[in-house]
Amino acid sequence: MSSSHIKVKAIVTSPTNSSRQGYKFKYEEGRRYHADEDVSYILPNDDDEADRVHQQHWILKYALQCNYHAPVTKMLEDGIVVLDSGCGPATWTFEMGETYPRSAFHGVDASCVFPEDIKPANVELVIGNIAKHIPYPDNTFDYIHQRLLFLGLTHDDWENTLKELLRILKPGGYLELVEPDLQELHNVGPLLSKLQGTLSDILISKGMPTKVHDQFEELLDKAGFENYVMKMTPLKLNHTNKAGDLLWEDYSHGCINIRSVLAKSNTDWESPEVFAAFLEASGNEAKKYKTCINYYACYAQKPLE
């Protein structure tokens, strides 16, 4: 067998999705949500949201010109074991699996929103609440990737998740966390300030950090990581180039998908039509002000033992 066909195999303790929690759903205003009280995620988990997250992956890759920031390219090419923490529909997991066939990729998510049967041969997906217990043995992964969970983890959840991620990461392995700053947009106007202020109030009421990237250093230190590096990229919102247009499409789609949550604080937005008009005006404002979202990527290592 040629070396190009060599695959790295990971030992998986939960090769089948035995947890029924990932299949428990509830419905509100025609949208499907998880029904696990231990999961704080406020976005829907239906097909429309899965489609948005699929598209978001390609938009971010186009805007950032990369899929990751940690210095792991040579490792991925040679063959390592990787976890996508909070993988959602597993778009990142699948593309990385196809790009790096010598590496083994695993995805874990609290809800079964990923394909269970059709997937690359070097990809495995399981259900698990990352803030409680990740169903893998200690020291399993060389690299762990986690992004865009700011609407899904409370302060306690972040601490518990990082402890679990440290446990399953190999000594010397890399953890990468990626989150935007949606509280303080750059060059923001009054409409988007109102929207983000409402979202921040909701996060605070649910015990979630509003600017978790500001806490990365403290959280990583507390969990036991070292050698952290932070990178920030300003992402244009509805201006300048195609990436800016696409990012606005994703941003506005995400806002629509949490409209019912936002409307609990602003009753004007209980009407989908009123909220759609507000978003259209916000998009025009972002174009006028040349608003940007600061996008933070932080990677760190587990100490060598």
Percent with pLDDT over 70 in the chain? 89
Q: What are phi and psi of 152, to 5 degrees?
A: -130, -5
SS3 12: coil
What is the pTM (predicted TM-score) of this model? 0.90
Cβ–Cβ contacts within 10 Å for residue 126, how many?
23
Higher pLDDT, 55 or 17: 55
The pLDDT value recorded for residue 1 is 34
What are the residues whose beta carbons fall under 8 Å from the beta carbon of 129, sequence distance 6 or more?
A: 21, 36, 38, 39, 110
- Range list of H helices, the chain: 47-64, 73-78, 91-99, 155-168, 190-205, 216-223, 242-257, 259-262, 272-289
In sequence order, the β-bridge partners of residue 279 are none
Model confidence pLDDT, tens digit, residues 237-267: 999 999 999 999 999 999 999 999 999 999 9
Model confidence pLDDT, tens digit, residues 116-146: 667 889 999 999 999 999 999 999 999 999 9
d(CA 278, CA 272): 10
Tell me the CA distances in angstroms from 35 to 7, 40, 98, 152, one per residue in order: 37, 10, 32, 13
d(CA 248, CA 227): 34
20 band by pLDDT with thresholds 50, 70 and 90: low
Every domain of the chain and the residues it spans: 3-179+209-233+295-301
Q: Quickly count helices (H) and strands (E) in the chain.
A: 9, 9
Higher pLDDT, 209 or 4: 209
d(CA 195, CA 215): 23
What average pLDDT does the segment 29-54 reach?
A: 78
The tokens describing 301, both together, are 């290592």
**Domain 3-179+209-233+295-301 falls under CATH 3.40.50.150:** yes
207 band by pLDDT with thresholds 50, 70 and 90: very high
Is 198 a residue whose pLDDT tops 80? yes
SS3 285: helix
Higher pLDDT, 292 or 22: 292
The tokens describing 44, both together, are 């829907």
Q: In what order do the strands lie in the sheet with 226-236?
A: 123-127, 104-109, 81-85, 141-147, 169-186, 292-301, 226-236
Give the lowest-confidence range in 2-6, 15-19, 168-172.
Answer: 2-6
